[in-house]
Structure 1
Amino acid sequence: MNDTFWDTVCGMLPWFRLLIVIDTVVLFLVGFSLLHVEPDSGAFIAALMTLTIVLITLVVFGLISRQCAARDEVPLD
């Protein structure tokens, strides 16, 4: 991808860090709510779907953070 795209994405990295904190809080809340929900209810399925979305989001934010860190380490010629 081009440098303008990554400059924009890496410029938004502080916002991604805030979203990582929010996602982690949601992850724990949903995880604890799974303990108190009937396994055959719709709320259980919704909690599992939310858990999946949060985990995927955390992975994507982690990959973006690693890419931005790798860009900062490479010297530009």
Structure 2
Amino acid sequence: MSDYNFDVDVLRGKMANELAGNIEQFAFVLTNALSHVAADDVIDAGEMGDEADPELVVHNLRSIANAIEAGSLT
């Protein structure tokens, strides 16, 4: 996959970095996006970022899932 622009003309890497720097909105954006897609489609078409650490990604996703189950994310 190559980089692409969104309607707001932001490269996905820049968008990801901006989102990572805005922790107030991170969980909202992530959970909202995941609520509107089929996970199998995402896995089939998906690609992790060049700087992604797979172990950290899995840890963070599990932590978010645990927080949702515990009712900590509302």
Q: TM-score, normalised by structure 1?
A: 0.31
Report the structure, 1 or 2, having the larger helix content. Answer: 1
Q: TM-score, normalised by structure 2?
A: 0.32
Of structures 1 and 2, the one with the larger relative CO (CA 8 A, separation 6+) is 1
